[in-house]
Structure 1
């Protein structure tokens, strides 16, 4: 039985038909990558599945009692902590916990506690914390208010909430857009283990190849499904197109041969019957059209003038903001032929380094020298916020190129697929991918020697990403790349610099080795926490200095804080349950209850007591396990 069934679906937006009698079936546990060009209707389809609006035709049916999770477009805000925001995303758990505090009807209280046990409510904080940790929020960050974080980090909170719900069907729309490579790799691993079904809109080839069972392609208002990941989709689609073109050529040759016979012998009495037979055969030949590919997406960068080496160099540079050092001791050099990808978690200084090279940030110390003729093109996704929504791409480019003729302005826009129609469309009406193309056109208008690209592929579809890779391969200048897109990084960069621990150093290896390094680092981090706990205890027992004891105790306290919090939560819950249990036992011990003859109340109290005992037993087991783990860590 299908989890989700879409039958003969028609969707229209602003009078434009996106889907016309399209169908799709999603079985339980199946993961489907949803692809298509920008504007094909992928996000609109997800919104229709989520029930945001009614389709113009056809049906969308979700299996009875199936749950659905989706990353909300509006980001969370307010003073609530990151962890509590994720926990509150489980509306049923939040409602039941509140009701457990206020309910007075014994039968209802029993039902509430039974349901809390069924949905594993008491382990929720640990599960939410693990997801947040994978997405880059450490223990300290999880306890900070949502309002302390930028929009990109808040989108991670929305993603964490959707994953935490562990629904039967998960809808993800470009989930990696606000993730770094580390968090993207974690998400791939999480999705691979996720037991539910998922529909994932993504232009990240690595994510699609590593997580989905099939590709659903939105094209020409229909949905076609191909088994396997994206690479398999490309292979099968290419083979099908070749076969269709060969069949079309064969039928066209037969048609031409028969038509030639008819034209030659139609007027001859001796051949008239054969000619008529050929005409009927012509009518029976199938009509097979050749596959006509859409006009391929093409990007091109202006060719820079050569510069003598070194193009730029840093000598013992430190940089940061408001007196706070982010990176120090930088000694890097760039030449025209360099293609370098910056690796490292978000917040470690990659974008800060990019701003230094782009001239948006001055060094706090050290020297930054470069050729006086150096031209730099700087692309950062946040620059879309600086675009004037009521102006057109032509308006923006004309201001950026005040001395250029109109033809040159249009030519620069055309380099990135902004044709005459889109060049004259207001920015507020452009898609995210079209805005990214405009930013690429603006940042490269002066034929830069160095391209600094900070997450350039957000909102670009797969064809546009491939076009960007081809354009960068042909580009004659240097490239500094920051991207979560592993395919782009592997295709463009020939060297890696790791931004870590306040400095930048070469990383010797490829992306596979970087993934392995990340996994090993995570393993070591877990081992070091355990080792610090053991060392702190041993140090205390051996009579270390009082100062060292304070340091060791502080480290041990930090490492064991989540475990102690779990114990405290369990103790508080046991106290609450014990209090409720005593109240019911007191009622059951009251002779008046039996004298009243109210069998219904007696049954309700016994059911409630049974549920409380079961819940109390579960919480006690949780407390015992956590207490044993704490004791082991301190022994």
Structure 2
């Protein structure tokens, strides 16, 4: 039975159709990546599923008693700590805990505590803390009030709350926009283990390839579903387009041949019957249109003038704000055509270093030298706040290029896909992706030798991201890149600098090795934390007073009762593994039968292989859950 069913859905915004008779079915546990061009209606569809938007026609049906989680659009605020903000997101737990403090009826008190055990209320603080930690908040930060953090970090708290609820259906809209690579990798790992279903709007290719098992493509007002990640979607879509074009060409040639016969022999009495038969055959030929692709997105950077090396040198530079040191001991050199990605967690100083290079921040000490002819293009997402909402892209570019002709102004905008129509729209009417294009056009108007790109892809769709990669490959200047998009980093950078411990040092390796390094570091941190917990528990047990036999029996009863839900989860996982093993055996038996390949069409074979792959992935997921349960049971019994 489907968890979510969308049937013949039509949605119009301000009279413009975004979806028309679109349908989609989401099974329990299935993770779907929702893609489409900027403005296609992806966020609108999520809003309709969540109940925020009423469709013009069609139905959206969620299974009975199914829970739904979504990152709230408004960021949390106030003096509540991060950990308490996340915990309060579980409304049922919060109400039960409050009622437990005031209830007097013994039966109701028992019911409350039984329900708290059933929903694992006692593990909630640990689960919430683990999620916040994965998203970049250490234990000290988790105890600070939300008001201490900026908007981007507050969005992480909203994301943490949605993940903490562990719903049957999770709706995520660009969840990596405010994350660094470390937090993005953690989110990928979390989603891979998540047992519920998810619909994820994302332009992050790595996230889509590593977490979803199907792609829903919103195109031409319809939804089409393709199994696999984004790379598989591109491959299948390309094959379908080529096949459709070849079929259209064959039918067109056949049609032309028949029409030629009819035209030649229609008037001849001896051939009239044959001509009439060909006319009827012509009418029966299917109407197959060639695939008309959208105009491909293209970006291009102005060509910089030659510049003698070195471009920039730093000697013992210290950076910071209001006397507080952020980075120190910097001894870097930049040359023409350097392609360097800055790696490291948010808040470690990547953007601070970018501001120094861009001339937006003076060193606290040390020397920063560069060529007098050096031109720098600096892109940062926060610059969107500096745009004048009532002005058009043409207005902004004309002010930035006061000596340029109107043709040159429009040509610079056109380099980034802002054509005549979009260039005349007010900024308030532009999408996030169109604003990003405007910022790219503004930051490169002087043909810079050095491009500093601080999260340039946050609002760009997949086509625009590919266009940016192609344009950077053709660019002859140097690039400093800060991005959570590992596909972009892998495609653009050939050197990596790690920003950590108040300094910048080379990272000798590629992105795959960096991810492995992060994973190993996280594993060590968990291991050290586990050892600390065991040591604390041991110290507590050594100082624990001796219990009487009756007290020990009561303690064992309480422990048995507390562990009952966990043991039930373990049994459920074992039953699931047994069912999956039987189903796999049935499919493998079918695939091993030679008759299948003689009597069945390829669609059935593909469907069987796809189902088998899904079962293998589900088996790995449940095995990992089962192992975690057994480990938790063993640890609890050892205490």
Report the TM-score range of the alignment, normalised by the length of the smaller protein.
0.7 to 0.9
Which ranges of structure 2 fall in alignment gaps of 5 or more residues? Answer: 542-550, 567-630
DSSP-derived class of the 1:136 partner = coil
User: 2:374 is matched with which residue?
Assistant: 374
How far did residue 629 of structure 1 move? 7.7
User: 1:449 is matched with which residue?
Assistant: 449
User: 1:62 is matched with which residue?
Assistant: 62
In 1, Cα distance between equivalents of 2:273 and 2:563:
91
DSSP-derived class of the 2:172 partner = strand
Is the counterpart of residue 255 in structure 1 residue 292 in structure 2? no
How far did residue 293 of structure 1 move? 0.4
Q: Deviation per CA, 1:36-71, whole angstroms, max 9, x where unpaired?
A: 000111000000000112111100000000000001
User: 1:192 is matched with which residue?
Assistant: 192
How far did residue 388 of structure 1 move? 1.1
Quick one: which of 528, 539, 562 aligns to 1:618? 562
User: 2:471 is matched with which residue?
Assistant: 471
The correspondence of residues 421-436 of structure 1 with structure 2, limited to 5 A, is: 421-436=421-436
User: 1:160 is matched with which residue?
Assistant: 160
In 2, Cα distance between equivalents of 1:128 and 1:428:
37
User: 1:355 is matched with which residue?
Assistant: 355
DSSP-derived class of the 2:452 partner = strand
Is the counterpart of residue 502 in structure 1 residue 502 in structure 2? yes
Which ranges of structure 1 fall in alignment gaps of 5 or more residues? Answer: 538-559, 568-577, 579-609
User: 2:408 is matched with which residue?
Assistant: 408
How far did residue 444 of structure 1 move? 0.5
Q: Deviation per CA, 1:278-310, whole angstroms, max 9, x where unpaired?
A: 111111000000011000001111110010110
How far did residue 253 of structure 1 move? 0.3
How far did residue 108 of structure 1 move? 3.1
> Is 1:113–1:615's contact at 8 Å kept on the other side of the alignment?
no
> Is 1:117–1:615's contact at 8 Å kept on the other side of the alignment?
no
> Is 2:117–2:565's contact at 8 Å kept on the other side of the alignment?
no
In 2, Cα distance between equivalents of 1:530 and 1:23:
47
Point out the structure with max Rg over C-alpha. Answer: 1
The correspondence of residues 269-284 of structure 1 with structure 2, limited to 5 A, is: 269-284=269-284
How far did residue 621 of structure 1 move? 12
How far did residue 105 of structure 1 move? 3.7
How many residue pairs were aligned? Answer: 560
The correspondence of residues 298-337 of structure 1 with structure 2, limited to 5 A, is: 298-337=298-337
In 2, Cα distance between equivalents of 1:530 and 1:151:
32
How far did residue 10 of structure 1 move? 0.5
DSSP-derived class of the 1:524 partner = helix
How far did residue 107 of structure 1 move? 3.5
Q: 1:617 to 1:257 in 2, by over 3 A?
A: closer
How far did residue 509 of structure 1 move? 0.5
User: 1:551 is matched with which residue?
Assistant: none
User: 2:268 is matched with which residue?
Assistant: 268
User: 1:461 is matched with which residue?
Assistant: 461
User: 1:146 is matched with which residue?
Assistant: 146
In 2, Cα distance between equivalents of 1:90 and 1:116:
12
CA-based RMSD: 2.5
User: 2:585 is matched with which residue?
Assistant: none
DSSP-derived class of the 1:316 partner = strand
TM-score by length of 1: 0.85
Q: 1:437 to 1:509 in 2, by over 3 A?
A: same
In 1, Cα distance between equivalents of 2:266 and 2:343:
74
Q: Deviation per CA, 1:153-182, whole angstroms, max 9, x where unpaired?
A: 000000000000000000000000000000
DSSP-derived class of the 2:94 partner = helix
Q: 1:212 to 1:501 in 2, by over 3 A?
A: same
In 2, Cα distance between equivalents of 1:631 and 1:261:
87
In 1, Cα distance between equivalents of 2:503 and 2:234:
40
> Is 2:413–2:423's contact at 8 Å kept on the other side of the alignment?
yes
User: 1:118 is matched with which residue?
Assistant: 118
User: 2:131 is matched with which residue?
Assistant: 131
In 1, Cα distance between equivalents of 2:291 and 2:513:
40
In 2, Cα distance between equivalents of 1:482 and 1:51:
36
In 2, Cα distance between equivalents of 1:164 and 1:316:
44
